[in-house]
Amino acid sequence: MQAVQLEESITIAERMFQLIRRMYPICRSITGHGVRQTLEIISEYIPLTTYEIQTGVALFDWTAPKEWNIRDAFIKNSKGEKIVDFRNCNLHVLNYSVPVSKKVSLEELKAHTFTIPDHPDWIPYRTSYYAENWGFCLSHNQLLALSEDEYEVVIDSSLQDGHLTFGEYFIKGQTEHEVLISTHICHPSLANDNLSGIAVAVFLAKHLTQVASLKHSYRFLFTPGMIGSIAWLSRNESQVSRIAHGIIIACVGDSGQITYKKSRRGNAEIDHAVLQVLKDTGTTHQVLEFSPFGYDERQFCSPGFNLPVGCFMRTPHGKFPEYHTSADNLEFIQPQYLGDSLSKCSMILQLLEQNATYMNLNSKCEPQLGKRGLYGSIGGASDGRSLELAMLWVLNWSDGDHSLLDIAEKSGLKFLTIKNAADALHASGLLRRQ
């Protein structure tokens, strides 16, 4: 397969940004109509299958939660003026707030209020999924402006038996070995954390549908964070051994450098593939070892599964001040960074598709490359030397145990150079594909 080309990625980047702009106003949560509406929009781009799990269904140590929906919310002062309005910003409501409609004192209101004193203009994003509560998230300046008064607080929400919803898109390849791409879809108006991952995953899937022949099958998951991946794993436990490689995509639209968090295994092919792409493209990046917090790698890499799933990010969650605040908005992300993230992810998949293991059929001393037209006659003048060198590396390590990716790592050469060398040697009958 071909990776997304740079020129193409510029146009796609604008389209990803448009998709994010459409999804941004929706009040999403781990359940409810916001998730469904988001999946419907994604379905316009790729043919998604949507699953609904009833409230109360056991999911390993968890149960599918009650479904939460919200229509409106506000705080009014005694003059009847709306001083906080959910319709202006859906972050104003503590996500999963139970319904409330009552008059409260300033003191009681403050007990149900969340702010960020260090960033007095920003509204925090807070949730209370598993403990019933109600609350409002305000800018700290809004809080400071509140005087002694009687306030009317209304949260027109419902928390009832319903469903947990998630979406899945499967692309069948030549083998049952799957690449899992997963992203969370449970945050309301937050652009980098949640929407950037959705956009990159959607356009990665769209790109793959245009590839004529794929070695791997691909499974894209769009699930509410944590409980969604727990639900998927509990329903698909018997099939997870098919997952050969996996990437969680999150926070991929900001200007920060790329961050890759390794799988729990730490030496899975996906871990090596990501690092090879970042090295080959000269991308400044950071690598994090696995840790049991973060996104859905927590579930896929729980010890009972221990799947080869890493996490691809730019600036990691919690490491940018805008994280989980109203400042993670449409100005915080930029099309060029979305495009770069998409391009890098597609290169990673391309490498996984192209990686292979060969057996040298002429392994007793070096074969004569010259008489086969392979020495001094391959490729352009500038690349010729490295191709010859690459052929020597490929011949030496194609013992059936080392993949092209392994050989690229050992040689320090680019994966593509190693792959081109292997193609030439294979065409000359010097290699057999394992």
Q: Which residues bind Zn ion (CB under 5 A)?
A: 193
**Minimum Å distance from CB 192 to Zn ion?**
9
Nearer to Zn ion, 94 or 424 (CB): 94
**Minimum Å distance from CB 337 to Zn ion?**
18
Of 388, 397, 396, the residue nearest 420 (C-alpha): 388
In angstroms, the CA 205 to CA 42 distance is 11
172 in Cβ contact with 215 (< 8 Å): no
**Minimum Å distance from CB 323 to Zn ion?**
7
**Minimum Å distance from CB 430 to Zn ion?**
51
**Minimum Å distance from CB 187 to Zn ion?**
5
Of 219, 433, 397, 181, the residue nearest 309 (C-alpha): 181
Could you count the other beta carbons within 10 Å of the beta carbon of residue 348? Answer: 25
Nearer to Zn ion, 15 or 126 (CB): 126
Nearer to Zn ion, 91 or 413 (CB): 91
Nearer to Zn ion, 193 or 296 (CB): 193
The β-bridge relationship of strands 136-137 and 113-114 is: parallel
**Minimum Å distance from CB 315 to Zn ion?**
13
- The first and second tokens of residue 112, run together, are 């149900």
Q: Which residues pair with 23 in a beta bridge?
A: none
- The first and second tokens of residue 321, run together, are 């001040």
Within 13 Å, how many C-alpha atoms sit on residue 301's CB side? Answer: 25
**Minimum Å distance from CB 193 to Zn ion?**
4
**Minimum Å distance from CB 125 to Zn ion?**
7
- The first and second tokens of residue 180, run together, are 């899992």
- DSSP codes joined into one string, 280-313: HTT--EEEE---S-SSTHHHHTSTTT--SEEEEE
In angstroms, the CA 375 to CA 384 distance is 9
In angstroms, the CA 420 to CA 142 distance is 61
- The first and second tokens of residue 278, run together, are 């970042």
Nearer to Zn ion, 124 or 367 (CB): 124
Nearer to Zn ion, 117 or 293 (CB): 293
Nearer to Zn ion, 131 or 381 (CB): 131
- Give the list of residues 6+ apart from residue 370 with CB closer than 8 angstroms, or none: 376
In angstroms, the CA 53 to CA 233 distance is 13
Of 193, 198, 164, the residue nearest 181 (C-alpha): 198
Nearer to Zn ion, 46 or 164 (CB): 164
Nearer to Zn ion, 193 or 353 (CB): 193
Nearer to Zn ion, 193 or 388 (CB): 193
Angle CA 85–198–157, to nearest 5: 30
Angle CA 55–61–65, to nearest 5: 20
**Minimum Å distance from CB 298 to Zn ion?**
13
Q: Which residue is nearest to Zn ion (CB)?
A: 193
**Minimum Å distance from CB 24 to Zn ion?**
15
Of 84, 82, 135, 133, the residue nearest 109 (C-alpha): 135
108 in Cβ contact with 141 (< 8 Å): no
